[in-house]
């Protein structure tokens, strides 16, 4: 498992570095900004703790900059799903910038852009689990399960479907109590 974590960390770090290099040549490329932000967030998720804070702050900056350029970059609500996720997973002030109200606003925007998408529905379900609203979370995790596959992202979909299944199990176990 440590080897997997190290491999994930290296892969996400390499992707973030590649995106950063592209942005040096094309600083207004919103799609690359989103990919770098997602990669940095993934690195932060692997390393956790105080050392992750700089990465999530940079990810937020990139996402907000991408939103200014093209709020529909990647066409699937990615900017808003990613911002929403950052806002509910990062600790609040004074440690970080976490804010459940902002998280909900961004996740709602993601769903408005992509109501049937796996990512917006999964992250809304996960957010609702974090807030203890398991009944509402079940609706979104079920929608994530039914989301159409993305032929250009089969590996991402496969991994996310595992996340969806695990989250649904967690939700159902909480609702059964």
pLDDT tens digits, 51-96: 899 999 999 999 999 999 999 998 889 999 999 999 999 999 999 9
CA 34 – CA 67 distance, rounded (Å): 9
92-104: pLDDT as tens digits: 999 999 999 999 9
> Is residue 172 within 8 Å of residue 135, measured between CB atoms?
no
Q: How confident is the model at residue 1 (pLDDT cuts 50, 70, 90)?
A: low
Whole-angstrom Cα Rg for the chain: 16
- At CA 132, angle to CA 92 and CA 100, rounded to 5? 25
pTM, two decimal places:
0.92
């Amino acid at each position: 498992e440590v080897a997997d974590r190290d491999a994930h960390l290296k892969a996400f770090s390499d992707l973030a570095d590649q995106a950063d290099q592209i942005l040096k040549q094309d600083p207004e490329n919103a799609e690359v900004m989103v990919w770098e932000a997602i990669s940095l967030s993934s690195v932060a998720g692997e390393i956790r703790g105080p050392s992750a804070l700089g990465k999530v702050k940079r990810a937020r900056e990139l996402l907000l900059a991408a939103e200014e350029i093209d709020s529909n970059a990647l066409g699937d609500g990615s900017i808003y799903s990613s911002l929403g996720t950052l806002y509910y997973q990062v600790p609040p002030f004074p440690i970080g910038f976490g804010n459940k109200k902002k998280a909900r606003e961004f996740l709602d925007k993601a769903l408005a852009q992509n109501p049937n998408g796996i990512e917006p529905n999964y992250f809304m379900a996960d957010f609702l689990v974090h807030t203890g609203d398991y009944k509402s979370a079940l609706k979104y995790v079920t929608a994530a399960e039914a989301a159409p596959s993305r032929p250009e992202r089969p590996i991402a979909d496969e991994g996310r479907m595992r996340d969806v299944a695990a989250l649904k199990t967690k939700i159902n176990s909480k609702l059964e109590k």
